[in-house]
Structure 1
C-alpha cells in the first residue's frame, strides 16, 4: 500500500472499532488472533517502561456468575463475548520497591540501586512532578497506563476483524473484594483497573458521531 492507502486503512480501522453491546456467542476468536492481541498489550508503552499491569482472562463460569451482580456494565459481555479480560494495575511501583528492583535487574538486566541516577530520577518524577503521596495515587497513576494497553489491544482486535468493548461499569470495591477472597489478586500489590471484552458483534455498525476536529484541536505557535 502507498501512504494514502495506509492512511485510509488506519481511519477505516478506527471507524470499524465500536463499543460492542451485543456479541454472537457462537463465534470464537482463534488462538493465534488472541495471542496477537495479548502480545500487543504486552508490548504497549508504560511510564519508565515499568509495565504496571496484569491481564487476567475470565474463563470460569463460576467467576462470571459471581461478578454478575455488581458488574452491570459487563452483562452483555458475560452473555456473549468470547473473551472477558480483567486488567489489573499495581499499587506499589516506586523507585525502591521489590517490583521495580525485579524489573530492572531480572527483566531488563540492568544493575539496580535505589541510589542510582535512574532510580532517583523516577523518585523525583513520582514524588515531585506528579505529586504522588499514597497508595491510591500510585494506583491511579498505574491505572492510567493500563488504558494505553487496552486501547492498543482494541485497535489490534479491530485490525483482525474482532470486536471489543471497554468496561468500567462495575463496583470496584466489590470486584476487588471478590477477587481477593478467591485469592485471584493480592490487594497489597494489585487492584482492578478496567475490564474489556472481545468477540464478534451481533449488531450492525453504527456510524461514529464525534465533535469536529476543530472543536478539540488547536496549535500553540
Structure 2
C-alpha cells in the first residue's frame, strides 16, 4: 500500500483544534462512519479495548454537557458531530476480572490455555512491571492512556478527508458524568469520561500558523 507522503503531511498541517465550526455544514454518514471505524481499529495495550464512544447529536443533551464544559462553549453547539469517550473503571481492567477473561475468550477468541498464559503475563505487567495494582488511579491512568490512541487516529483520519476536529479536556468531570448518568443512562460504576471530541468544518481559518519545535530539538539518535 502506497500513500503519498506529502498528502499525509498536508493533513497534519491542516489539522488544528477548531474552536468554532460552521453549523450549517454536516459531515456525511459515509465520512463519519470512516472516522468511527478508525477508532474501532485502533491499537491498545494487550488489545483490551477499554473504551466506548457516545455520539451525541441531540441539541438538548449537548446544551446540558456544555454547562459543564468550559473548553467547548463554541464547539458543542456548532459541531456536526460530538463524541464523548468513556473508559472502563479500573477494576474491569485487572488481569483477573471477568471482563478481561471474557474479552479474551469472546472477542479475541483465544483458546483457554492461551487465555491463562496471557493473564499471567498481564498480571506480571500490572503487578510488577508498572505497579498498576498499587493504586486504583494507576490502573485508571493506564486505561485512560489507551483511549487517546483512537482520539489521535480519528482526528488524523478526519484531517485526511478535509474534516476539522477539536479534542476537549476542558470540562468539569463530575458534572459531565452526572449528565451522562441521568440523561444518557451511563453506569458510573463501570465507566468514567475520558474526553470529548468535536468534528465539523471550520467557520474561519486559524488566526495564526501552526507552531512546533524543530525535529532537532525533540529527537535524539543513538
Asked if TM exceeds 0.5, the reply is yes
User: In the alignment, what sits opposite 2:167?
Assistant: 166
1:131 to partner: Cα distance:
1.1
Cα separation, 1, equivalents of 2:139 and 2:86:
13
- 1:84-163 matches, within 5 Å, as 84-91=82-89, 92-112=92-112, 116-133=116-133, 134-163=135-164
Contact in 1 for aligned 2:105/2:111 (Cα 8 Å):
yes
Structure 1 stretches of 4+ moved >6 Å: none
Counterparts in 2 of 1:2 and 1:78: CA distance versus 1, 3 Å: closer
Cα separation, 1, equivalents of 2:177 and 2:79:
22
Structure 1: which 5+ residue stretches go unaligned? Answer: none
User: In the alignment, what sits opposite 1:175?
Assistant: 176
Contact in 2 for aligned 1:93/1:100 (Cα 8 Å):
yes
User: In the alignment, what sits opposite 2:203?
Assistant: 202
The number of residues matched between the two structures is 218
- 1:51-66 matches, within 5 Å, as 51-66=49-64
Q: What whole-Å deviation, never above 9, does each CA across 1:148-169 have from its counterpart, x for those lacking one? A: 1010000000011100000000
Cα separation, 1, equivalents of 2:190 and 2:75:
27
1:128 to partner: Cα distance:
1.1
Q: Secondary structure at the match of 1:211?
A: coil
Q: What whole-Å deviation, never above 9, does each CA across 1:66-108 have from its counterpart, x for those lacking one? A: 1222111111111211011001111121111121122111112
TM-score by length of 2: 0.92
TM-score by length of 1: 0.92
